[in-house]
Amino acid sequence: MREIYFNKALNEALREKMSEDESVLLIGEDIGVYGGAFKVTEGLLESFGEKRVIETPISENSFMGVATGLAMMGFKPVVEIMFMDFIALAFDQILNHTTKFHYMYNGQVNIPMVIRTPAGAKGGYGPSHSQSLEALFIGIPGLKVVAPSDPYTAKGLLKSAINDPNPVLFVENKVLYGTKGEVPEESYLIPLNQAMIRREGTDLTIISYSRMLQLSLKVASFLEKQGVTLEVLDLISLSPLDEEAIIASIKKTKRVVVVDEGCKTGGIGAEISALLAEEAIEYLDAPIIRVGLPNVPIPASIFLERHVIPDEQKILDAVDQCLNW
C-alpha cells in the first residue's frame, strides 16, 4: 500500500468529494492561491475554480455565517479556520446558529457543514496559535467533533464528515500534517462515531486521539518489550463518545490512563473520567489517571512548550503510577 502525508490525505479527500458532488464548496482564508496555511487545499482552486474555492477576508464570524446560510440552501461547505485558536471569533455562529437551526426550524433544514481547523502546539507558535480547544465544543448539542490520528483515518473521516447532514468540527493536529502513513487508493470511509482499538493489551488501557495517540502507541511499544501489554484506544470521535468501546476496554484491562493535548481541567479526560465513574466504576482496580496540559497558556519558548505539552515520558509516568497503585 502507498504511503502519503497527512495533509495530502486530506487534500485527496477534498478533491474526491468535490469531484463527486458539485454542492461541496471550500471557504476560508488563504485557501486558494496559497493553498492553505498547511497546504491542505493546494491545487484545488486550479481544479475547481473560484466559485467553489472561496477565499474570504479575515473575519471568521462572517464567513462562518455565510457558510451556514449556504448549508441551509443545500450546499455542503467545508470551512477552514486557519488556526483553532481563531475559532473563538466564530463561536457565536457555531453555538447559536450553525448547530441550532435544524432544531429551531423543526427539521425543515439541515446544516451539512464541516469546520476544519489545525490545533495543537508546534515549534513555538505561542499561546494564541497552539491551543487544543476541542473540549469547548463537545458540550454543544447538534455538533459532532472528530479528530484523526493518521493519514488513513484523516482521509476516510473527512469524507464521512462531508457526507454527514449535520455540522462536524474536524480537528487536525499541526504536527501530524508532515507525518506519513498507509492510505488505500480505492475509496473508503471511516465512521464518525466509532473508536478504534489500535493495539490490543490486557494490563492497562490508554485512551487518546490525534497526535497524543501516536505518542501513546510508542509508549505501548516500549513497555511491551518489558512484558507489559497496553491496550491503546483511538477515540476518533470526541462527540459523541463511543461509550461502548471505552467501557468494553476498561472491563478487559481494569486500569486506564487518558491522554489529550488540551488543558487537563474540564478536558476530554475529565469527560471520560465522569463516564467511567458513572458507568464502569466497579471494573476499575486503580484510579483514572489523566495526562493533559496544565492550566497555563502555551509558551512561545520551544523549551517551555516542550515542558508543558504531554510527551512520552509523561505518559510513561502516568502508566507506571496506575500500574503500581
Chain centroid to CA 266: how far? 17
pTM beyond 0.95: yes
**Could you give all domains of the chain from N- to C-terminal order, each with its CATH number?**
3-182 (3.40.50.970), 196-323 (3.40.50.920)
pLDDT score recorded for residue 157: 98
Place of cell 490520528: 149
80 classed as catalytic: no
Q: How far is CA 188 from CA 42, 77, 149, 193, 277, in A?
A: 22, 21, 16, 16, 36
Measured CA to CA, the distance from residue 80 to residue 87 in angstroms comes to 10
Measured CA to CA, the distance from residue 253 to residue 201 in angstroms comes to 7
Q: Which amino acid is at 124?
A: G
pLDDT score recorded for residue 78: 98
Q: Which three cell numbers stand for residue 204?
A: 492497562
Q: How far is CA 18 from CA 39, 53, 54, 63, 78, in A?
A: 17, 10, 13, 20, 10
* Catalytic residue of the set 29, 60, 80, 261: 60
> Are 147 and 209 within 8 A, CB to CB?
yes
Measured CA to CA, the distance from residue 64 to residue 262 in angstroms comes to 24
Find, among 317, 4, 10, the residue nearest to 162 by Cα. Answer: 10
Average pLDDT taken over every residue of the chain:
97
Mean pLDDT (whole number) for 152-161 = 98
Q: Which three cell numbers stand for residue 137?
A: 465544543
Q: What is the pLDDT of residues 77-112, one digit of tens each?
A: 999 999 999 999 999 999 999 999 999 999 999 999
Mean pLDDT (whole number) for 6-32 = 98
Per cent of the chain over pLDDT 90 is 99
Is the pLDDT at 119 greater than 90? The verdict is yes
Q: What is the pLDDT of residues 186-208, one digit of tens each?
A: 999 999 999 999 999 999 999 99
Place of cell 493535548: 261
pLDDT score recorded for residue 1: 80
> Are 37 and 30 within 8 A, CB to CB?
yes
* Catalytic residue of the set 12, 97, 102, 129: 129
Q: What is the pLDDT of residues 237-290, one digit of tens each?
A: 999 999 999 999 999 999 999 999 999 999 999 999 999 999 999 999 999 999
Mean pLDDT (whole number) for 9-33 = 97
| 95-102: long-range contacts, CB 8 A cutoff, minimum separation 24 | 95/140, 97/65, 97/68, 98/64, 98/67, 98/68, 98/71, 98/143, 98/167, 99/140, 99/141, 99/142, 99/143, 99/167, 100/142, 101/68, 101/72, 102/142, 102/166
Mean pLDDT (whole number) for 35-45 = 97
129 classed as catalytic: yes
